[in-house]
Structure 1
Amino acid sequence: MTARIILASTSVFRQSLLKKFNLPFETASPDVDESALPNETAPALVERLALYKAQAVAKNNSNAIIIGSDQVALFNEKILGKPHTKENAIAQLTAFSGQKVTFLTGLALINSHSGEQQTTVEPFDVYFRTLTLSQIEHYVDAEQPFQCAGSFKSEGLGICLFERFEGRDPNSLIGLPLMALNEMLLNWKIDILALQQRQG
């Protein structure tokens, strides 16, 4: 494979996930407006933004495979924002106690040489345990998840908030659905497993 792989994200969480493929990759910060369009559904929003991010990076990088991703959390059919404050985080988690939150992760792949592109949206459900206010406050103080949609970090102490997960790929919850990404790369005859022998 001669094309470079570029992750259109500076998220340390997405970078750590992509490292599981054991292939060299670069990162780039996409400059896109992440505002929702009027009457845009959550699946359409994450698919569009994932593609926009990949397209923004593709403009300045020829002969590369660009990976874009975007995520929203849904509760009672409403898109959740980042809490930003302790009070908002506590309020979000209190509302989630004993409830289900759905995460939608948009994934886009662009071949900047050929112009080909692929997109998909991966759903993942998390079911919260019934939580006491004291448990919620202890969690928020410990991890301060103020920049995380849903007010938790599933890759950290947040795992203690949940009763169960439902979904194909737990990586999608953290922000990059690797199973779907592998399938999309295989569509372009890029076999991650076959490439491992060249990494030694």
Structure 2
Amino acid sequence: MPLQPSLPRLILASSSKYRKELLSRLHLPFEVLVPAIDETPQAGESPEMTALRLAQEKAFAVVEQVPDALVIGSDQVATLDGEQIGKPGTHINALAQLRKMRGREVVFHTALCLWDGRCADKAKAAQVENVRTFVTFRNLAEEELEAYLHIEQPYDCAGSAKNEGLGIAILERIESADPTALTGLPLIALTTMLRNAGVPFFNR
């Protein structure tokens, strides 16, 4: 029986526990390194471009430390009427976000970059994709929003909606080509990129 090629070193460039949990579903060995980058949007930058740029910057920051690895970078930007909605950080900010979004459609841009540090041609080293998710929020009463926030405390989630938890109850509709994109790491896009990079999923 021929020997199977060894798996490349796989690194998730993120501090997100949600992305770590999602990546673990693929049953691939991986490490986590947190990139040190400035995540401030640039002047005149569209939400999609912000997400794509930051996903690439996160991956490249780690590739510079571990040159021969496959590095996954991802970033998510939520938008309402083209305006970026960040992580609330506090209860007051989260409530303000939910008030603004109730009964409205919010677009989540989840950008993904797989940077192959083994690639000699640096111009071809990165695979990049943005997955859009359209989320309609329920038009809930103030007391329901308050109760949700006290239970879930989603202050580290863009848009204050933790859809993998109780946050699903404040959502009316989700439309996306990739059901994992809203949580922060689009696995359908990622598995395609990993296959392109020669990573096997079943014959190991």
Q: Please state which band the TM-score falls in when normalised by the shorter chain.
A: over 0.9
What TM-score do the two structures reach when normalised by structure 1?
Answer: 0.93
1:53 aligns with one of 54, 58, 72: 58
Query: 1 or 2, which has the higher helix percentage?
Result: 1
Q: Quick check: 1:159 aligned with 2:168?
A: yes
Q: Quick check: 1:181 aligned with 2:186?
A: no
List alignment gaps of at least 5 residues for structure 2. Answer: 1-5
Q: Quick check: 1:111 aligned with 2:119?
A: no
Where 1:104 maps in the other structure, the secondary structure is strand
Matching of residues 90-129 of structure 1 within 5 Å: 90-114=95-119, 115=122, 116-129=125-138
**CA–CA distance in 2 between the matches of 1:120 and 1:48?**
11
Aligned length: 195
Matching of residues 1-200 of structure 1 within 5 Å: 1-114=6-119, 115=122, 116-194=125-203, 198=204
**1:3-36 CA distances to partner (integer Å, 9 max, x unpaired)?**
1000001211101000111111000000011111
**CA–CA distance in 2 between the matches of 1:33 and 1:180?**
25
Where 1:61 maps in the other structure, the secondary structure is coil
List alignment gaps of at least 5 residues for structure 1. Answer: none
RMSD: 1.2
What TM-score do the two structures reach when normalised by structure 2?
Answer: 0.92
Deviation >3 Å, runs of 4+? none
- Of all paired residues, the percent bearing the same amino acid is 43
**CA–CA distance in 2 between the matches of 1:158 and 1:152?**
5
The offset of 1:180, in angstroms, is 0.5
1:172 counterpart letter in structure 2: A
1:134 counterpart letter in structure 2: E
Where 1:127 maps in the other structure, the secondary structure is strand
**CA–CA distance in 2 between the matches of 1:117 and 1:147?**
28
**CA–CA distance in 1 between the matches of 2:78 and 2:116?**
28
